[in-house]
Amino acid sequence: ELVYRSTLLRNMARQARHLARVASIAPAGEPRITAAMGLAFSGLCLSEGHKRLARGLKLLCRELDRQILPDGGHVSRNPSAQLSILLDLLSLRDALSARRIEVPKPVRNAIDRMTPMLRFFRHGDGKLALFNGSTEGPEGAIDAALDRDDAKGRPFGFAPHSGYQRLVAGPTSLVADTGAPPPGAFSHEAHAGCLSFEMSVGRARMIVNCGATKVLGPDWEAASRATAAHSTLVLADTSSARMLKGRISRRLLGPRVMEGPVVVESRRNENDAGTWLETAHDGYAGLFGLVHRRRLFLSAAGEDLRGEDSLETSLNPKRYKPWQLLYWHRVPEDPEFTVRFHIHPDARVSLAHDKTNVLVLLPNGDGWQFRARSGGGECEIAIEESVYLGSGDTTRRAEQIVVAGRVFRGEARVNWAWRRLSTRNAGHPKREDADVPELPELELPARD
């Protein structure tokens, strides 16, 4: 209708003029890229937009060079930002091609690098891994983006600049966070989930992080960013990274990460037996003088995952600031810790009578057994309530496996193992009555 059409176009032109004024000072990170692309689209779609198009493309190319890392990840380390930016870039590329306008080289390069990285973050169910503020993503969005990739290659195993590792064997895929928090201006959605991992078997997710939400209020948002909401070790119920909490400071700087791991180590080794991953972070060194080390081994068949979480005294106090070292004498001499494994709500969890075994039954009928050992003997395992925020706007009840322990004389160690069982299409045992076979020894196999 003519009047509606005229009103709509006037509003769009007014918004385009506004973008031309403020796009360059939009908040750092994905919002500034979005503003630049909006300005470029307005130049393509509205009359007399040549200057806006040129200005938008110039700003976009500058921000892509700043924000897209050499391995194709986004500087925020957020898989959802990866997906959103890539979808917009693909739409902009198609729009420029339809107008017979050359696509700038930085845009083409960003698409070529970001597409394999998106495949890196995709689980077997076709949705995103939940790290640093990410959600699963809109239904079908990842496949829509990857369908436009001419290479269609397999995901690579290591993203050194983004700080992630991916282990794949048989039906099992595992993605681990092995990077430090992003720079302050890009860390408004970053989580304290260093060394956490997610694991899927076929199209079924098994081990997850809780996810993130922006619509359930600040308390939910803060809880989802804590280390306890991730499948990793938590020391003294304290997060490995701390976010700004002051009302004035958050208003000025946003909810950015104030302090977190500085040194995050990651080494990978593959042989005929499987894949080794050895990692460590110093997020607890400033407060407790302890370093968290995590070792993972995924067998070549993908049916055996072994792990070891340990805490040891930091050997280099010179690395930390004087005010951080003041905390060391204030903390408990032997603080408690927990190792948490959050289980996807579609999986069913059963605890054995002696509380040393857990059986997890996936929707596809696969059964996985979990055991843990601490200090040379079996340790008690607990099943606690959890919550799953994968969609970003709703909560789902879930459960988590918790292994508790205490640091003794500056050291602690827990060995654990997940083993796939032949229980496809079998009935599910009753809770607290899981009759499951014994696993082999929990020690990790020798590494070349």
What was the pLDDT predicted at 286?
Answer: 84
pLDDT tens, residue by residue, 352-390: 888 888 999 999 899 999 999 987 566 789 999 999 999
| Residue 347 placed within a domain | yes
| Residue 140 placed within a domain | no
pLDDT tens, residue by residue, 187-206: 999 999 999 999 999 999 99
- Per-residue pLDDT for 52 more than 70? yes
- Per-residue pLDDT for 329 more than 80? no
Lowest-pLDDT range of 148-162, 312-326, 331-345 = 312-326
| Residue 139 placed within a domain | no
Of the pLDDT bands very low, low, confident and very high (cuts 50, 70, 90), residue 49 is confident
Q: Say if residues 375 and 417 touch (Cβ distance below 8 Å).
A: no
What was the pLDDT predicted at 437?
Answer: 40
- Name the average pLDDT for the chain: 88
- Per-residue pLDDT for 331 more than 80? no
pLDDT tens, residue by residue, 58-78: 999 999 999 999 999 999 999
| Residue 90 placed within a domain | no
| Residue 42 placed within a domain | no
Share of the chain above pLDDT 90, in %: 68
| Residue 411 placed within a domain | yes
Quote the domain boundaries for residue 371.
163-448
* Mean pLDDT in residue range 420-431: 55
Look at the chain and report how many structural domains it folds into: 1
What was the pLDDT predicted at 158?
Answer: 93
pLDDT tens, residue by residue, 112-131: 999 999 999 999 999 999 99
β partners of residue 198 = 175
What was the pLDDT predicted at 249?
Answer: 73
What was the pLDDT predicted at 346?
Answer: 95
| Residue 19 placed within a domain | no
- Per-residue pLDDT for 432 more than 90? no
| Residue 22 placed within a domain | no
Phi/psi at 141 (nearest 5 deg)?
-70, -40
- Per-residue pLDDT for 426 more than 50? no
What was the pLDDT predicted at 203?
Answer: 93
Lowest-pLDDT range of 71-80, 346-355, 429-438 = 429-438
What's the CATH number where 170 sits? Answer: 2.70.98.70
- Per-residue pLDDT for 321 more than 80? no
- Per-residue pLDDT for 440 more than 90? no
